[in-house]
Structure 1
């Protein structure tokens, strides 16, 4: 599981950065990737990345401002031209379906795969055997949502040497033990799952927040997240401007991460007033003064989501 930034700028693109889009690579877990937001030019960013649109499984839109949305019709159309045939689900606030219906129909775009658009007002929006995704409303000029991706705990590994000592060969009983249930062999030997199974692998939590002022829903969405992606449009000396424009500062993002007990924070959605990476270093320093495990989002860089070990 890895985070990969395709766009890190707020409002409009610059020569240094594109507008917002974040990929969650799940190649080992699902052989796919998920995307959060799709600003204008995102498909060009994908072409410069190791991502392949045919593997895009889910796309989550935080809100309907153009810098998070205008790249979506083109990307959906290009996915088909690039051989994408697997179903794709797009999640987002009410109004998303109308936007896509009009954009795709007026442009006579052909979508040669099953495209499902799920509009939501927060809550549990997806769940299967491996993952669930929760969402909650944030505080922005229009409805903006944060997403909490929860990887479910996975069973531990079987101790092959211990099973061999019992004379148990690979077969159906392995699956029973893997599920945590005890078994009895044909010889009448009872093997308990606890003695041959390692501790479950703790699932990871990734939280991606849309544009927002500091608000109450940010904390539960980010609670004990292994990685929190939070906007930091402005440095903290511009806190008044951030509030007026319904955005957050570096310090506010760091305070959310600290209060929520997150393990790592990545700042993104930077104002175009900050040009080069060097100009963003003071913003990083501000955040680290509150929450030391903070990084700056850099486009075309992978950020592994580490699995917590121990208690």
Structure 2
């Protein structure tokens, strides 16, 4: 899995940062891309990446403020024009369907694929299949807002091919059977139990997205043991009162969440346009004093999950 940041700014676009949008790229795992928020001009940002809109299958919207959704109608239309035919699932607070459908209707936009809307109204598991789970949790913003926890389920360990060399097994279907834990009998009568040649199970991988909120205990539930925590950092540590008044977080609050919840890596985003150059670096340094494995992200930054 990879995270690619399409927009890392807060409120309005700036010369150095577009507004919120994050791509979770799972091309190796399931040949899909999931988006978290789609701020204004997200499709323009995508043009500067190798992301193909037709690969976007799920879109998670944290809340309905414009800097998180104004890019959605344009992106959906572009996806139709570029060969996207598979259904798109859009998860978001009540009103997201009305916003999208009204925008498409008023502009006369026609899609050649269907949209499935999943409106969120409580803290709950919102998606699960054989390999992934996604949870939504209510945050504390000026309007209804949700954070998300994406869990890639534990995977079977790798087949220990080097240890099988002594049996001179040709590369082919037998390896597949052993990887599945089956017992096979070789031509010479040797019996091999595949379970004896499978490495340790790969643990679950967890990515948490916390955008536009002041601290609430639900953040701890979503962030617990995350490999990567993406957390908004609209204000500096000296602006805690402003953060409370505007229902946002400071860099140090994000770091405290990471430290207290056994998070492995913290990525700070949703940066106010007031912070540029050295002042932006200040946000990172404040957080690092509490949680060293912190990075202040920029537009088009890519992080492989998990990262060191």
Matched residue of 2:140: which SS? Answer: coil
Q: Take 2:105 and 2:237, find their aligned partners in 1: how far apart are those partners?
A: 44
Q: Take 1:277 and 1:4, find their aligned partners in 2: how far apart are those partners?
A: 21
Q: Take 1:49 and 1:279, find their aligned partners in 2: how far apart are those partners?
A: 27
Aligned-residue offset at 1:181: 4.5
Q: Which residue does 1:13 correspond to in 2?
A: 13
Q: Deviations over 1:91-135 (max 9, x none)?
A: 111111111111111111111123212112331111111211111
Aligned-residue offset at 1:201: 2.2
Q: Deviations over 1:238-282 (max 9, x none)?
A: 1001000100001100000111110000101111221x2332011
Aligned-residue offset at 1:186: 6.8
Q: Which residue does 1:29 correspond to in 2?
A: 29
Q: Take 1:153 and 1:10, find their aligned partners in 2: how far apart are those partners?
A: 35
8 A Cα contact 1:132 1:149, kept in partner:
yes
Distance 1:117 1:84, change over 3 A: same
Matched residue of 1:58: which SS? Answer: strand
1:305 aligns with 2:305: yes
Q: Take 1:161 and 1:258, find their aligned partners in 2: how far apart are those partners?
A: 39
8 A Cα contact 1:137 1:143, kept in partner:
yes
TM-score by length of 2: 0.93
Q: Take 1:307 and 1:42, find their aligned partners in 2: how far apart are those partners?
A: 25
Q: Which residue does 1:180 correspond to in 2?
A: 181
Structure 2: give runs of 5+ residues left out of the alignment. Answer: none
Q: Deviations over 1:210-256 (max 9, x none)?
A: 21111101111111111100001000111001000100001100000
1:229-240 correspondence runs (5 A)? 229-240=230-241
Q: Which residue does 2:160 correspond to in 1?
A: 159
Q: Take 2:294 and 2:195, find their aligned partners in 1: how far apart are those partners?
A: 38
Q: Which residue does 1:128 correspond to in 2?
A: 129
Aligned-residue offset at 1:141: 0.9
Aligned-residue offset at 1:142: 1.1
TM-score by length of 1: 0.93
8 A Cα contact 1:2 1:303, kept in partner:
yes
Matched residue of 1:75: which SS? Answer: helix
Q: Which residue does 1:257 correspond to in 2?
A: 258
Aligned length: 307
Q: Take 1:307 and 1:280, find their aligned partners in 2: how far apart are those partners?
A: 22
8 A Cα contact 1:155 1:201, kept in partner:
yes
Distance 1:43 1:197, change over 3 A: same
Q: Take 1:9 and 1:235, find their aligned partners in 2: how far apart are those partners?
A: 14
Aligned-residue offset at 1:180: 3.4
8 A Cα contact 1:7 1:18, kept in partner:
yes
* 143-152 or 199-208: bigger deviation: 199-208
Q: Which residue does 2:291 correspond to in 1?
A: 291
1:139 aligns with 2:140: yes
1:194 aligns with 2:195: yes
Aligned-residue offset at 1:189: 4.0
CA RMSD of aligned residues (A): 1.9
Q: Take 1:277 and 1:26, find their aligned partners in 2: how far apart are those partners?
A: 32
Distance 1:217 1:184, change over 3 A: farther
Structure 1: give runs of 5+ residues left out of the alignment. Answer: none
8 A Cα contact 1:204 1:307, kept in partner:
no
